[in-house]
């Protein structure tokens, strides 16, 4: 089992599962009222903490309370599956289906950009990394050592983006336009860091032989 690859997938699954729960919580706070359409703001006007704190979402359920409960339950399932079952035989495809379900029940829209890549990488958890061995051509030691640092930085940036999107809080910055610019900058940096984290994770797995003594790879 490719340990670093599994950790990458599991950690991102946890983060996006938490994001779905966050969306669902604010949707339930809006109460037992109609959504008024498929495209909604997860955070209502009475709960909004800053001008850009709407948290856009999509839902097939025409009720804020029910869609919020569904989003929280699916978000929790994503976390559990990412941590304990994504390495199983059908783990990657079920994770992708959970991500799609999270999108459809109000769990947020922005993270959908990351879901396909997480799925593609999750399929490599139990596979020989033949292409990447050829790609690195014996030079995987340095990127393998850099993997934990990129993973840590990417995680921090994602958490900052999620926190700002909800609260608009950024120490020392009170201008909402500057805050959202910084948030989008962090998101743009994440778009660069995430692929590198995946690739460096492959390098780490090649370097270490991909051994991970946890669980059974069969469903």
Q: Is 17 helix (H, G, I), strand (E, B) or coil?
A: helix
What per-residue confidence (pLDDT) applies to 202?
97
What per-residue confidence (pLDDT) applies to 111?
84
Inter-residue contact 21 to 76 (CB < 8 Å):
yes
Q: Which two tokens stand for residue 102?
A: 């999270």
What per-residue confidence (pLDDT) applies to 189?
93
b/e sequence 96-130, b meaning 16+ C-beta within 10 Å? bebbebbbbbbbbbebeebbeebbebbebbbeebe
Instruction: List all residues 6 or more positions away from 36 whose beta carbon is below 8 Å from its beta carbon.
Output: none
pTM of the model: 0.91
- Measured distance CA(89)–CA(87) in Å, rounded: 7
What per-residue confidence (pLDDT) applies to 213?
36
* In the chain, alpha helices (H): 3-29, 64-84, 91-104, 115-122, 130-136, 141-167, 176-208
* In 38-129, alpha helices (H): 64-84, 91-104, 115-122
First to last CA, the chain: 14
What per-residue confidence (pLDDT) applies to 147?
97
- Measured distance CA(214)–CA(196) in Å, rounded: 25
What per-residue confidence (pLDDT) applies to 164?
96
What per-residue confidence (pLDDT) applies to 106?
96
Distances (CA, A) of 145 to 27, 98, 100: 42, 32, 33
What per-residue confidence (pLDDT) applies to 211?
44
Residue carrying the six token digits 């037992």: 32
Residue carrying the six token digits 């995430």: 194
Divide the 219 residues of the chain into consecutive groups of 10 and give the mean pLDDT of each group. Answer: 96 96 97 96 94 95 98 98 95 97 94 90 95 94 96 95 95 95 94 94 88 40
What per-residue confidence (pLDDT) applies to 112?
86
Distances (CA, A) of 81 to 86, 116, 122, 191: 6, 16, 12, 24
């Amino acid at each position: 089992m490719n340990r670093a690859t599994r950790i990458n997938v599991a950690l991102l699954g946890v983060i996006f599962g938490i994001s779905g729960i966050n969306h669902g919580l604010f949707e339930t706070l809006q109460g037992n009222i109609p959504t008024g359409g498929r495209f909604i703001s997860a955070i209502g006007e009475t709960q909004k903490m800053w001008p850009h704190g709407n948290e856009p979402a999509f839902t097939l359920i025409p009720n804020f309370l029910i869609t919020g409960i569904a989003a929280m339950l699916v978000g929790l399932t994503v976390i559990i599956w990412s941590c304990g079952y994504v390495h199983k035989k059908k783990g990657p495809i079920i994770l992708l289906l959970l991500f799609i379900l999270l999108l459809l029940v109000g769990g947020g829209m922005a993270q959908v950009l990351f879901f396909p890549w997480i799925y593609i990488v999750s399929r490599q958890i139990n596979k020989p990394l033949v292409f990447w061995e050829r790609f690195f051509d014996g030079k995987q030691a340095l990127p393998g050592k850099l993997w934990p640092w990129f993973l840590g930085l990417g995680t921090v940036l994602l958490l900052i983006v999620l926190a700002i999107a909800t609260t608009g809080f950024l120490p020392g910055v009170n201008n909402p336009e500057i805050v959202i610019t910084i948030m989008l900058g962090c998101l743009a940096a994440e778009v660069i860091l995430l692929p590198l984290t995946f690739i460096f994770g492959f390098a780490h797995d090649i370097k270490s032989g991909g051994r991970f003594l946890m669980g059974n790879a069969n469903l």
